[in-house]
Chain A
Amino acid sequence: MEFIMQTLLPCLYAGAACVAFTFVFNIHGWGKLICGAGGALGWLVYLLCGQSIPAAFLAAVSISLFSEVMARVRRCPVTGYLLVALLPLVPGGGIYYAMRYCVAGETQAFLDMLLHTLGMAAALAAGGILASSAFRGALLHLRRMRRS
């Protein structure tokens, strides 16, 4: 019961927020559900790995792999799924709290928060790049093996 409240419910919220975002990005049909599932999956990985910067990295990796597979299945560009599913992980809270500390004059807390926010953004980008590159490389290799 506690697991459901602490873990599954937030994932549902993240997925629902992603589905709401598909209206903004003009995504129709099955794409909406794929975006929602991607967002929920990313948040699940983020929660299970401990809500830290490495957790954000792993979440970005899982979202990228999921989006790449779904894009291959639906024969669509991967961009849309990835854009929306990564949104819940973008450190909006970090930007906000950094601003609060900066205005309050708490320089040390401000710098800590700023660096943490930058770290989150970098982890998301690095995770996405690595996972997508590895996936594409592996796919290319498989195709070559099948052809020969």
Chain B
Amino acid sequence: MNCDALLNLAMEIGCQLMRSGAEIYRVEESVYRLLQAYGGEDAQVFAIPSCLIVSLRASDGHPVTRMRRIPPHGTDIELLERCNELCRTLCRTVPPLEQAQEQAQRLTERRVYRPAQILLGYALAPAFFTPLFGGGVRDALCALLCGLAVGVCLLYGSRWLGNNSLLRTVVCSAVAALGSVVLVRMGVGVSVDLITIGVLMLLVPGVALTNAMWEIMAGDVYSGMSRTTEAILTAAGIALGAALGLWAGQTF
């Protein structure tokens, strides 16, 4: 059995799983089962939110290990479902390694939404959240516009803001607050608070919170703590950005 090829395959699938935003226990278990299915000796998998390590013992007793750093990523449920399905199929049928590697390479050819559709999602979500919290039709319209602005920042802002997610949150939150103050002062919107809250729901650390809960439930306390910290930092970033945006909108 080719130990290196198996290690590469496991690493590829593990990395795709991590990038899709899967929980740590799912990544570790999927990769471990895959290695077991192919008869990897002394298989070890370790993952934390930013790193994946897979280790094996080759048939001549030589130990081999691969480590890969996971870049910042969003959540991609379509990719997660495809990785999960591929993993199950591979564990059940155990095709030759070259064929499996080919299938793993094809994971990225998945259905994705066009940027315009994602922007539509960013704009529509606040437009529904604002009435949910008690806003009227005019507030919903303002939330739609502010959501669009925040969506543009989130999608294309990485060119100026880099990969720093905290800075991105602060800037987007400031844009949301500033936009709603400006729209209210122009006479389009009615309530600054309701519009801003509706738009801030785009940035709220719901994903980090849910993930933290899952990690802790699965026993990965270390990953759970790191996600909890992420949630608290994001909330602080939202508060800071909104304060800056409100101040700027009311001063000038």
Contacts and interface: CB of A to CB of B under 8 A. Distances in A.
A96 B209 contact: no
A76 B121 contact: no
B209 A17 contact: no
Q: Is the interface of B mostly helix, strand, loop or mixed?
A: helix
Given A28-B78, A121-B209, A95 B200 contact: yes
B206 interface: yes
Given A23-B121, A92-B204, A79 B132 contact: no
B223 interface: no
Interface residues of A, number: 45
A129 B239 contact: no
Contacts of B117: 23
Contacts of A55: none
Contacts of B239: 95-96, 98-99, 102
Contacts of A92: 129, 197, 200-201, 204, 238
A79 B129 contact: no
A63 to B, nearest CB: 10
A125 B213 contact: yes
Contacts of A98: 239
B76 A26 contact: yes
A16 B121 CA distance: 10
A58 to B, nearest CB: 16
Interface stretch (B7-15, B21-29, B36-44, B48-56): B21-29
B129 A96 contact: no
B124 A93 contact: no
Given A86-B206, A87-B206, A125-B213, A77 B128 contact: no
Contact of A125 (B124, B196, B209): B209
A90 interface: yes
Interface of A is mostly: helix
Contacts of A128: 210, 213
Interface string A31-53: 10000000000010000000000
Contacts of A129: 213, 216-217
A133 interface: yes
B118 A24 contact: yes
Given A13-B132, A17-B128, A87-B201, A82 B210 contact: yes
A10 B205 contact: no
30 contacts: A13-B132, A14-B128, A16-B128, A17-B125, A17-B128, A23-B113, A23-B118, A23-B122, A24-B74, A25-B75, A26-B79, A26-B112, A27-B78, A28-B78, A83-B77, A83-B207, A83-B211, A86-B209, A87-B206, A90-B206, A92-B200, A92-B238, A96-B193, A96-B200, A96-B238, A99-B242, A103-B246, A121-B209, A125-B210, A133-B217
Interface of A: 10, 13-14, 16-17, 20-28, 31, 43, 76-77, 79-80, 82-83, 86-88, 90-93, 95-100, 102-103, 117, 121, 124-125, 128-129, 132-133
